[in-house]
């Protein structure tokens, strides 16, 4: 399999997953706005920070109000991680490997982009937003299902899994970050609302039912964080994603360094005890997890996509 | 109660003095009866629904071509498709098919001869000095022996039909002819949108092409016995035919590679960069022009090519399709000699005629051209896409004078042909069908065996009266049916 093709498939999966998770992220924040009294609402600025796109947003020189932020996250082509831009890049990567990809898979991503870009205006309007985001989420899910059911589970598929689960693991930490950061910054009567907020978070990850079946306690800080980080069965939990990554790289050759990085993360998550973690420690943990995921990405590139070794790139830079 | 409005009434349909492929004097031709009957049975709204369904299918399937504009850069456009098929009776098609096979056999013999002994020149049938001017003659190819003596493995010949019904070969494309994927996709769209038409007619299928293409290419492998590694070499997603490159690779199960994916080793073999290092390549279906293929030999600054590719090909370690230098037989002056070449190499009369062509190189023919300039189409030898052409009947006095001068200065570079009256096919306009001019591009595959596509790509000029069928200039396309009436 060509390195270039492997890399395009990997990015296709990452971008598709990013589009879905950005949709989920907007859902979480929308619920926060609706469920909290005015003085406790987080507003929309945190979403910009959490998706790591402060710079392009600053360039827009806009007030971080609902309309602007939602438009920026859904339909802004200048924002590299907006839903529309993610779908566009997923489609472009798909187009580049069209020969490799099952036809139905291509039609799915092509159509999803076509419809999502034609209906941006619906996504921005408060009434159309839920349906729009749901359409994006279902569209990406349909793509995954179709590929799972029609694409040979060979090396190409492995790179699809690597892209998907790396991105998903990262985005799950970001989604948790939205709520935990907000809770930590508030005090007093927000506790009254906390249960409902955690429940919404789970809903936005399609995880409320699964959570109830596993945890048998009302949604709250410790159990929800434990569920989303440490549960091995729920497909959007961090640890589940790690398991998928480990399984995907296992049959590949030259996998030693990537495997080692995944094991290190697994260890970190195994030692992590949500019962005693404070808000700032959680924040620190999330930063560490994201950084280590970035390292895994680099190692994947070095092992299979012809990325230069770190020493080489330093030499090239100097 | 009045009948609901009917969208298409064939009695109202006019095609003037052009030959129409579907309708003759107000009545459908035999092979088109069922389609015409079906269409005239539709109401306005139903016709509109059909058109919308076709448009949606094309968008959803992502059938596109890329156009480059100054304002917007490179954009991916939906493929323009017209619902009314072009129909050819099987008996007529058999003759055309035989004519194409004959023609391509002669063309390959000609190319092979040109790069070896040039017997055709020595025997005085083809003037050797024409080669000196040919921009597609590659001295680097002299003496090379590609497998089966075949140089043009994939040929796309453009056919047109004149007012009296004669089918002529207008030109042969022997370098990187494109369009075959649209032929396949048009059929797919047609089946999705109007399946009922396929129940009523015996339409020969077109989908053998990818398999035949793969077999044609695989037969060229320098490592017989092994499972050959066949790749399609594309300039990348910004090329106007990228869709086709990806499509064909996908249909053949071959890798689609870009120049940067390939490397020529010390052993003069070609390798591709895979996730586990280098892996040998046997056959390259290259969709890059000769001159961009190998910066070591041709354009040194080409970023699309692979340094050393010519070396590997000359050493016989990799097969290239089409072979470099095959384009020597697709310039417009050489075209004029193809009927002579058929006689010379095969000792047969051409089954498919050339458009009558005057070669300005010869005094008598040049005199005829200069006297009748305002009735002729004049073409320079090595320009494609209609550049540098004179259309006599539409030209101003000054332009005629300019061309007369050009011809006198460089007679060898020009040929002239009478203005053909291109045939028409009914094509959907807002609420009815109107006659629009078409051509036909069948594809001929040659290596161990010779195959011709079942029909080909019908291109249609969508503007009234226009004969420009290129998709980048307002052309569209139609599904092409070879219909068996005996079945």
Q: What digits encode the pLDDT tens for the residues B71-127?
A: 556 667 778 899 999 999 999 999 999 999 999 999 999 999 999 999 999 999 999
Position B470 scores a pLDDT of: 80
Contact criterion met (CB < 8 Å) for B275 and A3: yes
* Among the listed residues B435, B476, B483, the one whose alpha carbon sits nearest the alpha carbon of residue B458: B476
Position A97 scores a pLDDT of: 86
Using a CB-CB distance cutoff of 8 angstroms, which residues of chain B are in contact with residue A146? none
Which tokens go with B410? 């460089």
Task: Quote the percentage of chain A above a pLDDT of 70.
Answer: 97
- Residue A279, preceding bond cis, omega within 30 degrees? no
pLDDT at A218 over 60: yes
Confidence of residue B26 (pLDDT cuts 50, 70, 90): confident
* pLDDT (average), residues A264-275: 90
Average pLDDT for chain A: 90
* pLDDT (average), residues A16-38: 89
Contact criterion met (CB < 8 Å) for A2 and B275: yes
Shortest CA gap B247–chain A (Å):
6
Contact criterion met (CB < 8 Å) for A99 and B62: no
Position A229 scores a pLDDT of: 95
Rounded to a whole number, what is the largest CA-CA distance in chain A? Answer: 58
Q: Give residue ranges of B with CB < 8 Å to any A CB.
A: 59-62, 76, 232, 237, 242-243, 245-250, 254-258, 260-261, 272-276
User: Is the CA virtual torsion B73, B74, B75, B77 positive or negative?
Assistant: positive
The answer to whether residue A4 neighbours chain B at the CB level (below 8 Å) is yes
Using a CB-CB distance cutoff of 8 angstroms, which residues of chain A are in contact with residue B276? 253-254
* pLDDT (average), residues B194-200: 89
Q: Which residue reads 């796309």 in tokens?
A: B156
ipTM: 0.76
Shortest CA gap B62–chain A (Å):
7
Shortest CA gap B270–chain A (Å):
14
* pLDDT (average), residues A184-198: 81
DSSP B264: E
* Among the listed residues B398, B332, B404, the one whose alpha carbon sits nearest the alpha carbon of residue B373: B404
The answer to whether residue A250 neighbours chain B at the CB level (below 8 Å) is no
Residue in B246, B247, B275 closest to A155 by CB = B275
- Residues with Cβ within 8 Å of A252's Cβ and at least 6 positions away in sequence, in order, are A155, A158, A303, A304, B275
10 Å Cβ neighbour count for B430? Answer: 8
Confidence of residue B204 (pLDDT cuts 50, 70, 90): very high
Confidence of residue B407 (pLDDT cuts 50, 70, 90): very high
Q: Which residue reads 């000359």 in tokens?
A: B314
Position A239 scores a pLDDT of: 97
In chain A, where the domains are located: 3-308
Position A149 scores a pLDDT of: 93
Which tokens go with B28? 């459908």
Shortest CA gap A31–chain B (Å):
34
CA distances to B1, B50, B450 from B254, rounded to whole Å, are: 60, 35, 21
Rounded to the nearest 5 percent, the helix, strand and coil shares of chain A are 80, 0, 20
Average pLDDT for chain B: 91
Shortest CA gap A304–chain B (Å):
5
Using a CB-CB distance cutoff of 8 angstroms, which residues of chain A are in contact with residue B255? 2, 5, 99
* pLDDT (average), residues B142-166: 97
Contact criterion met (CB < 8 Å) for A6 and B62: no
Residue in B62, B256, B273 closest to A110 by CB = B62
* pLDDT (average), residues B333-356: 96
Angle at B423 between CA B419 and CA B427, to 5 degrees: 130
Contact criterion met (CB < 8 Å) for B275 and A4: no
* pLDDT (average), residues A205-234: 92
pLDDT at A107 over 70: yes
State the number of CA atoms in the 13 A half-sphere of B313 facing the CB.
28
Exposed/middle/buried for B191, CB within 10 Å: 0-12, 13-18, 19+?
Answer: middle
The answer to whether residue A35 neighbours chain B at the CB level (below 8 Å) is no
In chain B, where the domains are located: 358-418
pLDDT at B382 over 90: no
Higher pLDDT, A274 or B404: B404
Residue in B59, B250, B275 closest to A99 by CB = B250
Question: Do residues B170 and B384 touch, judged by C-beta distance below 8 A?
Answer: no
10 Å Cβ neighbour count for A281? Answer: 12
Position B385 scores a pLDDT of: 53
Contact criterion met (CB < 8 Å) for B237 and A92: yes
B358-418 CATH, one of 3.30.530.20, 3.30.565.10, 3.40.50.2300, 3.30.1490.270: 3.30.1490.270
Question: Do residues B155 and B446 touch, judged by C-beta distance below 8 A?
Answer: yes
Which tokens go with B429? 């306009």
The answer to whether residue A104 neighbours chain B at the CB level (below 8 Å) is no
Higher pLDDT, B3 or B228: B228
pLDDT at A312 over 60: no
Task: Quote the percentage of chain B above a pLDDT of 90.
Answer: 69
Contact criterion met (CB < 8 Å) for A97 and B256: yes
Residue in B61, B76, B257 closest to A107 by CB = B61
Confidence of residue A42 (pLDDT cuts 50, 70, 90): confident
10 Å Cβ neighbour count for A210? Answer: 18
Q: pLDDT tens digits, residue range A168-178?
A: 999 999 989 88
Please give the helix or strand (H or E) that residue A318 lies within, else none: none
Of all residues in chain B, the one with the smallest CA distance to A111 is B60
Contact criterion met (CB < 8 Å) for A2 and B61: no
* Among the listed residues A8, A21, A19, the one whose alpha carbon sits nearest the alpha carbon of residue A168: A21
Contact criterion met (CB < 8 Å) for A99 and B256: yes
Position A257 scores a pLDDT of: 96
Using a CB-CB distance cutoff of 8 angstroms, which residues of chain A are in contact with residue B237? 92, 95-96
């Amino acid at each position: 399999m060509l390195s270039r093709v492997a890399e395009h498939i990997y990015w296709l999966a990452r971008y598709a997953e990013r589009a879905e998770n950005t949709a989920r992220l907007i859902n979480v924040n929308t619920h926060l706005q609706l469920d909290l009294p005015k003085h406790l609402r987080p507003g929309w600025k945190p979403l910009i920070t959490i998706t790591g796109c402060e710079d392009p947003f600053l360039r827009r020189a806009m007030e971080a109000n609902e309309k602007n932020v939602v438009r920026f996250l859904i339909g802004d082509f200048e924002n590299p991680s907006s839903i529309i831009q993610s779908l566009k890049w997923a489609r472009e990567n798909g187009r580049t490997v069209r020969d490799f990809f099952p036809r139905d898979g291509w039609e799915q991503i092509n159509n999803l982009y076509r419809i999502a870009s034609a209906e941006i205006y619906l996504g921005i309007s408060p009434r159309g937003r839920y349906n729009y985001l749901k359409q994006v989420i279902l569209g990406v899910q349909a793509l995954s299902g179709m590929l799972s059911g029609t694409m040979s589970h060979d090396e190409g598929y492995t790179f699809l899994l690597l892209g998907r689960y790396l991105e998903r693991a990262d985005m799950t930490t970001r989604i948790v970050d939205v709520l935990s950061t907000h809770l930590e910054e508030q005090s007093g009567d927000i506790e009254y609302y906390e249960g409902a907020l955690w429940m919404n978070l789970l809903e936005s990850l399609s995880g409320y039912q699964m959570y109830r079946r596993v945890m048998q306690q009302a949604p709250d800080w410790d159990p929800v964080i434990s569920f989303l980080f440490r549960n091995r069965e729920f497909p959007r939990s961090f640890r589940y994603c790690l398991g998928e990554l480990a399984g995907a790289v296992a049959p590949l050759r030259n996998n030693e360094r990537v495997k080692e990085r995944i094991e290190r993360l697994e260890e970190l998550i195994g030692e992590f005890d949500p019962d005693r973690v404070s808000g700032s420690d959680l924040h620190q943990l999330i930063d560490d997890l994201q950084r280590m995921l970035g390292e895994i990405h680099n190692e994947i590139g070095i092992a299979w996509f012809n990325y230069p070794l770190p020493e080489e790139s330093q030499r090239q830079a100097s | 109660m009045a009948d609901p409005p009917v969208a298409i009434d064939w009695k109202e349909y006019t095609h003037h003095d052009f030959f129409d492929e579907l309708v003759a004097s107000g009545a459908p031709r035999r092979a088109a009866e069922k389609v015409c009957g079906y269409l005239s049975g539709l109401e306005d709204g139903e016709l509109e629904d059909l058109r919308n369904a076709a448009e949606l299918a094309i968008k959803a399937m992502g059938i596109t071509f890329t156009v480059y504009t100054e304002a917007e850069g490179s954009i991916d456009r939906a493929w323009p498709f017209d619902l009314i098929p072009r129909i050819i009776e099987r008996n007529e098609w058999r003759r055309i098919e035989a004519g194409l096979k004959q023609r391509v056999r002669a063309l390959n013999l000609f190319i092979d001869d040109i790069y070896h002994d040039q017997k055709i020149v020595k025997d005085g049938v083809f003037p050797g000095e024409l080669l000196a001017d040919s921009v597609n003659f590659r001295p680097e190819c002299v003496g090379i022996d590609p497998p089966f003596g075949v140089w043009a493995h994939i040929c796309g010949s453009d056919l047109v039909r004149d007012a009296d019904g004669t089918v002529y070969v207008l030109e042969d494309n022997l370098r990187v002819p494109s369009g075959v994927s649209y032929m396949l996709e048009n059929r797919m769209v047609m089946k999705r949108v109007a399946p009922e038409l396929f129940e009523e007619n015996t339409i020969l299928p077109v989908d053998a092409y990818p398999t035949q293409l793969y077999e044609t290419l695989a037969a060229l492998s320098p490592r017989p016995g092994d499972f050959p590694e066949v790749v399609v070499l594309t300039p990348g997603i910004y090329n106007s035919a990228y869709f086709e490159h990806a499509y064909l690779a996908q249909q053949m199960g071959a890798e689609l590679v870009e120049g940067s994916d390939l490397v020529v080793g010390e052993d003069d073999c070609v390798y591709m960069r895979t996730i586990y290092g280098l892996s040998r390549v046997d056959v390259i279906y290259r969709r890059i022009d000769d001159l961009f293929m190998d910066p070591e030999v041709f354009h040194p600054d080409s970023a699309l090519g692979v340094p050393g590719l010519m070396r590997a090909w000359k050493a016989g370690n990799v097969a290239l399709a089409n072979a470099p230098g095959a384009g020597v037989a697709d310039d417009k002056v050489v075209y004029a000699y193809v009927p002579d070449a058929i006689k010379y190499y095969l000792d047969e009369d051409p089954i498919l005629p050339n458009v009558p062509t005057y070669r300005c190189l010869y005094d008598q023919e040049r005199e005829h051209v200069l006297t009748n300039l305002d009735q002729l189409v004049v073409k320079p030898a090595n320009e494609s896409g209609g550049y540098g052409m004179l259309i006599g009947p539409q030209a101003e006095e000054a332009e005629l004078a300019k061309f007369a001068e050009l011809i006198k200065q460089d007679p060898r570079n020009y040929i002239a042909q009478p203005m053909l009256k291109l045939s028409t096919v009914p094509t959907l306009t807002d609420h009815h069908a109107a006659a629009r001019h078409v051509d036909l591009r069948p594809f001929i595959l040659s290596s161990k065996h010779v195959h011709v596509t079942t029909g080909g790509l019908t291109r249609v000029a969508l503007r009234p009266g226009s004969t420009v069928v290129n998709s980048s200039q307002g052309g569209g396309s139609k599904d092409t049916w070879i219909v068996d009436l005996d079945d």
